[in-house]
Amino acid sequence: MPTTTTSAKREAETAIKNVKDDIVSGSEKVADGARDTADRVKREAGALEDSLTRGAEELVATVSETLRSVGVDTDRMVDVAKEQATDLQRLIEDEIRERPLRALGLAAAVGLFVGFLSAR
- Which pLDDT does position 114 carry in this prediction? 92
* 25 shares a domain with 63: yes
First-to-last alpha carbon distance for the chain, in angstroms, is: 73
pLDDT tens digits, the chain, 120 residues: what are they? 455 788 888 888 999 999 998 898 888 998 888 888 888 888 888 888 888 899 999 998 898 888 888 888 878 888 889 999 999 999 989 988 999 999 889 889 999 999 989 887
- Residue finishing a domain among 71, 95, 111: 71
Distance of CA 23 to the CA centre of its chain: 34
Q: CA 44 to CA 55: how far, in whole Å? A: 16
pLDDT at 2: 54
User: Is the same domain home to 66 and 85?
Assistant: no
User: Within this chain, do residues 44 and 3 fall inside the same structural domain, yes or no?
Assistant: yes
29-41 per-position pLDDT tens digit: 988 888 888 888 8
Task: Report d(CA 13, CA 20) in Å as an integer.
Answer: 10
pLDDT tens-digit readout, 56-77: 999 988 988 888 888 888 788 8
Counting every residue, how long is the chain? Answer: 120
Domain termination site, one of 30, 48, 71: 71
Domain range for 13 is 1-71
Do 89 and 111 lie in a common domain? yes
Rounded (10°) angle between helices 2-69 and 74-98: 110
101, 85: one domain: yes
pTM of the model: 0.41
- Residue at a domain's end among 36, 51, 71: 71
Same domain membership, residue 62 and residue 9? yes
pLDDT on residue 44: 86
Domain count, the chain: 2
pLDDT for the residue numbered 84: 93
